[in-house]
């Protein structure tokens, strides 16, 4: 019996490790706003790390995503973070979609379609508020970042630059059209 448990644990951990490095063709994804799925996959995906359910975004986000993917055939989706949303909601992976040096995630921020803070993963966000909500970082339900720490920080530096450019150019969420909403949401000071 112990032997079978050890074998099962090995299979589960090997499967988790293999998945942690997983990349796949972004053309296999079907999008619904910032969320997406793949046929036959139990995992749901998000192209934003935090704020997926509530943060502001430009209404044309799906059109932008489809257009970007059409201009970047065979782009690659890379898993950044794995999360468990509970028994009813299942698994949710945060992904980056890239083709060469181009990044859908960065371009969403650069065009002002989403604020840059939405690209922070749940590990970063929850670690920053852990004391306020008495969060146990060792909980098995805590999100797991599955990419290199250095790569994550390089990406987030690119996000900061992209949002700064979008704000400077006053496009998307940073345009006059969205100014009042962004003030109400606390992104722009009164």
Q: Above 60 in pLDDT, residue 150?
A: yes
Helix, strand, coil shares, percent, the chain, to 5:
45, 20, 35
Q: Above 50 in pLDDT, residue 63?
A: yes
- Among the residue ranges 50-64, 77-91, 149-163, the one predicted with the least confidence is 77-91
DSSP structural state of residue 44: E
pTM score, two decimals? Answer: 0.82
What gap in Å lies between CA 164 and CA 135, rounded to an integer?
31
The model's confidence at residue 68, banded by pLDDT at 50, 70 and 90, is very high
* DSSP per position, 70-111: HHSTT-EEEEEEEEE--TTT-EEEEEEEEETTEEHHHHHHHT
Q: Above 60 in pLDDT, residue 59?
A: yes
pLDDT tens-place string over residues 85-116:
666 667 889 999 999 999 999 999 999 999 99
Q: What average pLDDT does the segment 57-84 reach?
A: 93
What gap in Å lies between CA 90 and CA 21, rounded to an integer?
20
Domains of the chain: 21-184 (2.40.50.90)
Q: 13-40 burial by CB neighbour count: b if 16+ within 10 A, else e?
A: eeeeeeeeeeeeebeebebeebbbebee
**CB atoms closer than 10 angstroms to residue 131:** 8
């Amino acid at each position: 019996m112990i032997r079978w448990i050890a074998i099962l644990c090995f299979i589960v951990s090997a499967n988790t490790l293999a998945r942690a490095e997983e990349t796949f063709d972004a053309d296999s994804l079907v999008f619904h706003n910032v969320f997406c799925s793949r046929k036959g996959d139990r995992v749901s995906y998000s192209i934003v790390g935090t704020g997926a359910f509530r943060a502001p975004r430009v209404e044309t986000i799906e059109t932008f995503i489809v257009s970007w993917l059409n201009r970047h055939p065979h782009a690659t989706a890379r898993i950044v973070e794995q999360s468990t949303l509970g028994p009813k909601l299942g698994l949710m992976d945060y992904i980056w979609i890239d083709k060469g040096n181009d990044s859908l995630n960065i371009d969403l921020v650069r065009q002002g379609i989403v604020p840059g803070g939405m690209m922070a993963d749940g590990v970063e966000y929850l670690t920053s508020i852990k004391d306020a909500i008495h969060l146990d970082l060792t909980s098995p339900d805590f999100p797991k970042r599955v990419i290199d720490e250095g790569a994550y920080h390089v990406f987030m530096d690119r996000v900061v630059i992209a949002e700064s450019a979008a704000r400077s150019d006053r496009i998307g969420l940073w345009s006059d059209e969205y100014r009042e909403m962004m003030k109400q949401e606390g992104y722009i000071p009164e």
